[in-house]
Structures are given as structure tokens and as C-alpha cells.
């Protein structure tokens, strides 16, 4: 699969098979994030693969309804940015981390995995942040869901190219 095919065929998956990614596969996938473009190479992204104990504690802190949603994917990876406090750097670092997350989603697609970029509100709550060991200056960017696909979600309608691309003289 070439990059264009991965970009066009990636979908948000909300259902997954049961098999989690092995540690080697996960390392290979998250390694792609390190190559994202990043001004001044601050490399602000941090990834946490959530193990069973952590997941159980988060589910406990998040409440029953959210816990059900968190159980949808067999593999969850939290992506955060460490903020410096400088507004311009922070903006660029958030963009760079988003690019890093997208690299992971595209890599997952290329490997035949289902994925989903989710930003659950509960990851902003102190009890959940404490379980994850998030620093005060760490911003959650994505809870990346990964696993075997069990469906083929339809593509969501996009604006036509003519609406989003302008050639200036």
C-alpha cells in the first residue's frame, strides 16, 4: 500500500477484534511517530501504551459508561505533548504531535490494522491523569485505539478539492 492509498483508506473504527498488538508490533508502529516534522526538533510527543492494570484503574476512575467505551479496542496508546509555556512553541509542538499521531494511524492502516483517534473528556480529569502519571504541563492529544478490523466503515464525506484549494497568482 502506498502513502496515498493509506491516507484515502484510513477510517475511524469503533469496533475491533480481541487480539491486542504484540509489543514488537507496537514498537515498530510508534517508531513512525519519531519522524514527524517538528520545529526546532523539540520532540514534544510522549506515548504511553496502556497495560491491563492501568486500563482497569482508568476504567474505575472514569465511570461505568466511559469504561464501556474504553474497552472497545484491545490496544490503547495515549499520545501527549509536553508544553513548554512559550505560546508559539506550544502551538507548534501540538501541531507536531498531531502529525506524529497521524503517522501512527497511517502506519496502522498500511499494516491492515483498525485505528481511531479519540479525545475522551475523562482524560482531562485529575483522577484519570493521576493514574496515567501525567505531568501538569502535559496535554493529551489522542487516545489512539488500535486492533484488528472487524468492519469496513464507509468514508465520511469531504469538501471537494475546489472548496479547500486556491491557487494564488
Ligand X SMILES: Cc1cc2nc3c(=O)[nH]c(=O)nc-3n(C[C@H](O)[C@H](O)[C@H](O)COP(=O)(O)O)c2cc1C
9 in contact with ligand X (CB under 6 A): no
Phi-psi region of 141 (alpha: psi -120 to 50; beta: other; left: phi over 0): alpha
**126 vs 156, beta carbon nearer ligand X:** 156
**27 vs 121, beta carbon nearer ligand X:** 121
Judged by CB under 6 A, the chain residues 119 through 158 that form the site for ligand X are: 119, 156
Q: Whole-number minimum distance, CB 119 to ligand X, in Å?
A: 4
Q: Whole-number minimum distance, CB 158 to ligand X, in Å?
A: 8
* 3-state secondary structure at position 66: helix
Cβ-contact 117, 63 below 8 angstroms: no
Beta strands in the chain (DSSP E): 45-49, 75-82, 114-118, 138-147
Among 47-55, 66-74, 111-119, 125-133, the segment contacting ligand X (CB under 6 A):
111-119
- Residue from 74, 117, 148, 149 in contact with ligand X (CB under 6 A): 117
Cβ-contact 117, 142 below 8 angstroms: yes
Amino acid at each position: 500500500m502506498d502513502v496515498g492509498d493509506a491516507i484515502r483508506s484510513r477510517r475511524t473504527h469503533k469496533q475491533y477484534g480481541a487480539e491486542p498488538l504484540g509489543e514488537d508490533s507496537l514498537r515498530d508502529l510508534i517508531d513512525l511517530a519519531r519522524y514527524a516534522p517538528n520545529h526546532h526538533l523539540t520532540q514534544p510527543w510522549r506515548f504511553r501504551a496502556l497495560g491491563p492494570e492501568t486500563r482497569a484503574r482508568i476504567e474505575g476512575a472514569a465511570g461505568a459508561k466511559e469504561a464501556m467505551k474504553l474497552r472497545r479496542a484491545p490496544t490503547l496508546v495515549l499520545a501527549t505533548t509536553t508544553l513548554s509555556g512559550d505560546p508559539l512553541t506550544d502551538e507548534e509542538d501540538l501541531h507536531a504531535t498531531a502529525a506524529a499521531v497521524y503517522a501512527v494511524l497511517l502506519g496502522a492502516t498500511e499494516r491492515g490494522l483498525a485505528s481511531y483517534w479519540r479525545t475522551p473528556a475523562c482524560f482531562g480529569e485529575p483522577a484519570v491523569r493521576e493514574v496515567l502519571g501525567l505531568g501538569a504541563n502535559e496535554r493529551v492529544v489522542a487516545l489512539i485505539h488500535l486492533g484488528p478490523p472487524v468492519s469496513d466503515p464507509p468514508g465520511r464525506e469531504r469538501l471537494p478539492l475546489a472548496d479547500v484549494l486556491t491557487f494564488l497568482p
